[in-house]
Amino acid sequence: MSQHTTDLIHEKASTDKLPSGKAGRRRLLMALTILVFLVIGAVALYAISLIVGAVLLLLFSALLAYLIYPLAQFLHYRLPHTLAIIIAYLLVAGVLATGLFLVITSLIRQSSTLTQSIQFLLSPAGEHQLQSVADSLGKLGIPKDQVIQFENQLLAQVQGVLSGLLPFLIAFFSNIISLIVGVTLSVYFVIDGPLIVGWLRLKTPVSQRNTITFLLHILDQSLGGYFRGSLLLALIGALGTSIGLTLLHVPYAALLGVLFFLLYFLPVIGGYVIEALCVLTALEQGWVVMLIVAVYMTLLQGLVLGQILTPRIFSKAVGIHPIVALFALFAGAELFGALGGFFAVPVAGVLQQIIMALWHRWKDEHPEQFPPQEMPLQPSALLPEQQGLPFWLDERS
């Protein structure tokens, strides 16, 4: 082989290695970029976890303002702006105060009943009744030592609840103070929120305005659709639960309605919990009433709310798959507590909608990456001898 031929071979080999080297550097750069974004995200989550209380309080106030703003705007058509905001907050406060009044009165009634039951069990008549129960259990093969051990454990748990009453009251009043601060911040959001949105749409750099407008539209569509739709469905379900259980003479119907309203915001799990509570509460009315309550709650949640109202109310909002909702719920609760779990589902919905919108935009901008798929031939387009063949024989032909 001549020297000239050898040089040509080496030159061709060196030129063949260049594209592979560029591709390797490009893949390395992409991997490093992804790693940097993951590190930045981890640092941001850690920083947010250090001030999670303030962040959640700010999110709560912004959410409250977002929900009250349409009511304030509706009243603003007939009243001055300041008076409309005051009346809107008074109406919301009245609804919340009514719900809290129903819950607190029911809890006080239940607490008094529990206190009377404990006093009866500690009396000689109660001890005699417990002794008769223990004798009946002994006839069933349960030793008396286990019954005594269970009584001691139950007494220890009651004492633990009573000893934790003071920390509970301290945390309760702390949450009341946080609620007052959150309501105050929400007033400022209602007043200055339109100015902030207008500044983002009109005063930001021209090259970024389309993206900012797109993100604001996505937030309003998904976040607003989720909370307003969920609020309306929770209110309808709470009223249906209270009215239905009242007509069936089930005790604590108003309390169960309020619990339905609160537990409805827990995806997937909340419905099962409230239905189980309603069925257990109806036990003392007999198995017929319990069966009617179970059927009624199943129809209310599965048919009325799930199949009739939900598709119409959430017609413009993107639904979340139950797997994604449960993962977001537990991940948010694990990272940021109960409020984190509450906000995790709508945040997951926002992220899902943004990702889907960006995907459709990229798909529209790169149609060459998605060639039209060939449609399968209809039976009428096949040859007569191919119409009666199985699909594997048809493919071989």
Same domain, 99 and 117: yes
Same domain, 216 and 156: no
**Predicted local confidence at residue 389, as pLDDT:** 47
Same domain, 215 and 360: yes
**Predicted local confidence at residue 296, as pLDDT:** 92
Same domain, 240 and 190: no
Q: Is the pLDDT of residue 396 over 50?
A: no
Report yes or no on 322 lying in a domain.
yes
**Predicted local confidence at residue 233, as pLDDT:** 86
Q: Which segment of 6-15, 63-72, 361-370 scores lowest on mean pLDDT?
A: 6-15
Report yes or no on 393 lying in a domain.
no
Helices and strands of the chain, counted as H and E runs? 15, 0
Same domain, 189 and 209: no
Report yes or no on 370 lying in a domain.
no
Tell me the mean pLDDT in the region 194-208: 84
| Residue 123 or 382, more confident | 123
Last residue of a domain, one of 158, 178, 203: 203
* Residue 39 CB partners (closer than 8 Å, separation 6+): none
Q: What is the pLDDT of residues 221-243, one digit of tens each?
A: 767 777 777 888 888 998 899 89
Tell me the mean pLDDT in the region 98-124: 69
Please report which helix (H) or strand (E) contains residue 314, including its range: none
Same domain, 306 and 245: yes
Same domain, 240 and 113: no
| Residue 361 or 147, more confident | 361
Calpha distance 16→30 (Å, rounded): 22
Tell me the mean pLDDT in the region 179-193: 87
Q: Are 96 and 221 in contact (CB under 8 A)?
A: no
Tell me the mean pLDDT in the region 296-325: 74
Last residue of a domain, one of 171, 203, 235: 203
Same domain, 238 and 186: no
Tell me the mean pLDDT in the region 142-158: 67
With a pLDDT cut of 90, the percent of the chain lying above it is 2
Q: Is the pLDDT of residue 397 over 60?
A: no
Report yes or no on 38 lying in a domain.
no
Report yes or no on 137 lying in a domain.
no
Tell me the mean pLDDT in the region 291-314: 83
Q: Is the pLDDT of residue 375 over 60?
A: no
The amino acid occupying position 268 is V
Q: Are 321 and 345 in contact (CB under 8 A)?
A: no
Report residue 305 CA to chain centroid gap. Answer: 16
Highest mean pLDDT among 72-76, 170-174, 206-210: 72-76
Same domain, 177 and 75: yes
* Residue 197 CB partners (closer than 8 Å, separation 6+): 216
Q: Is the pLDDT of residue 382 over 60?
A: no
Report yes or no on 385 lying in a domain.
no
Domains identified in the chain, total number: 2
Q: What is the pLDDT of residues 274-299, one digit of tens each?
A: 888 888 888 778 788 889 998 999 89
Same domain, 187 and 281: no
Give the domain range for residue 334. 205-365
Same domain, 224 and 347: yes
Report yes or no on 39 lying in a domain.
no
Last residue of a domain, one of 203, 229, 252: 203
The amino acid occupying position 105 is T
Show the 3-state SS of 160-202: HHHHCHHHHHHHHHHHHHHHHHHHHHHHHHHHHHHHHHHHHHH
Q: Which segment of 36-40, 203-207, 365-369 scores lowest on mean pLDDT?
A: 365-369
Same domain, 79 and 169: yes
The pLDDT mean for the chain works out to 75
Report yes or no on 121 lying in a domain.
yes
**Predicted local confidence at residue 159, as pLDDT:** 65
Query: Taking the complete model, does pTM exceed 0.75, yes or no?
Result: no
With a pLDDT cut of 70, the percent of the chain lying above it is 67
Q: What is the pLDDT of residues 8-48, one digit of tens each?
A: 455 554 444 444 566 777 778 878 888 888 888 888 878 87
In order of 268, 376, 381, 384, 393, the CA distances from 389 in angstroms are: 47, 16, 14, 10, 6
| Residue 387 or 91, more confident | 91
